[in-house]
Amino acid sequence: MDTRQAALQSWVQQQTSIEGEWQLVSGDASFRRYFRWQTSKQSYIAVDAPPERENTARFVELASALNHRGVPVTKVLAHDLKQGFMLQEDLGEQLLLPLLTPENETAFYGHAMRSLLQWQSVRELPLELEHYRDGRLQTELTILPEWFLVRHLNLPFSDDVQAMYRQQGELLLQSAAEQPELLTHRDFHSRNLMLQCNRNRIIDFQDAVWGPATYDLVSLLKDCYYRLPPERVRQFALDYHSLLLSKNLLPPVSENTWLRWFDWMGLQRHLKVLGIFARLAHRDGKTLYLRDLPLTLRYCLETTAAYDELKPLSQWLHEEIAPRIPEALA
């Protein structure tokens, strides 16, 4: 047992005033660790979030505000901001991802989109959130060249490729800037939705921002860990478009524009994620994320091939990148 784990266990025992059994639940793509504290009466989730790496205060404030507004997120029962410790309700172990099959996709994704609608219906919060726009989105596009292209594939980022990538990236940023802003989770997908008593609960929401309306939807429907058939993705995207219009969360916009927003937002996200998965593997030693590169790249190949405006990026991805990850073409 390391020093932080021992300190966390001691702190949890002080909060619950009862003996229990300690079990590592998981780490994630961040620096947080999660432990289950099982007592004779109930169980809790203890979170180790090193304060030099994680903003626990923001998570606690956001959790409180969202719960107050009826959004189904994790409840924080106790916290120590100085040490970076939290005690949360135990939502169990049932993530959405392992439940998904072609037979039940429609039902589960219908529930997930209703949870997303609850999330995006929040129009104000008592804390400042970043506006997820050009500067941040542009910076994210630089992760792919550094970590995926150069570090992972050992390919050069030539002047010609840089110019093409910059021009194509500007199209994606312009499309994002056209969209209205809604509350944005930034990782709304099957690994961050838990099922408890047949109800979705949203986890890992600490990076919430005000962002483009399609960002969370494309994160859900073009999930880097689970592939829906393209025709089902399209129909779900249009169904959600209708939902937002019915709730006055979206100004009148055509289906074609909505789908372009959706597809191009997904492309920006997936280009970023290719870089992040490579960075997690090479910098942080989390090599399991490499197995998710083919699906993520496949989304990029499909989207760029579908739009004439993205032909330069499509050609580069198909000719230079896809042959090095052939599973993306399977």
Q: What pLDDT is stored for residue 30 in this prediction?
A: 64
The residues, any chain, with a CB within 8 Å of residue 97's CB and separated by 6 or more, are 190, 191, 225, 226
Name 81's bridge partners. Answer: none
Q: What pLDDT is stored for residue 157 in this prediction?
A: 96
Q: What pLDDT is stored for residue 41 in this prediction?
A: 83
Q: How far apart are the first and last CA of the chain?
A: 44
pLDDT digits (tens, 9 = 90+) for 217-236: 999 999 999 999 999 999 99
Name 27's bridge partners. Answer: 33
Q: What pLDDT is stored for residue 28 in this prediction?
A: 58
Which helix (H) or strand (E) element contains residue 77? strand 76-80
Q: What pLDDT is stored for residue 293 in this prediction?
A: 98
Instruction: Please state, as a whole number, how many other Cβ atoms lie within 10 Å of the Cβ of residue 283.
Output: 10
Mean pLDDT by 10 residues, the chain (330 residues): 90 86 75 89 92 92 96 96 96 95 96 97 95 93 98 97 98 98 98 92 94 99 98 98 97 98 99 98 95 98 98 98 87
pTM of the model: 0.93
Structure tokens at 186: 């930034």
Q: Give the Cα separation of 307 and 263 in Å (integer).
A: 10
Instruction: Please state, as a whole number, how many other Cβ atoms lie within 10 Å of the Cβ of residue 10.
Output: 10
Structure tokens at 95: 């993530």
| Residue 154 main-chain phi, psi, to 5 deg | 60, 40
Report helix, strand or coil for 196: strand
CB 297 within 8 A of CB 325: yes
- For the chain, give the longest Cα–Cα distance: 64
Cα 256 off chain centre by: 25
Helices marked H in the chain: 3-16, 56-68, 105-120, 134-141, 143, 159-178, 215-221, 230-246, 255-282, 293-306, 311-316
Q: What pLDDT is stored for residue 261 in this prediction?
A: 99
Q: Give the Cα separation of 279 and 290 in Å (integer).
A: 10
Q: What pLDDT is stored for residue 175 in this prediction?
A: 98
Q: What pLDDT is stored for residue 198 in this prediction?
A: 83
Of 32, 36, 2, which is closest to residue 16 (Cα–Cα)? 36
Domains and their CATH numbers in the chain:
3-89 (3.30.200.20), 97-329 (3.90.1200.10)
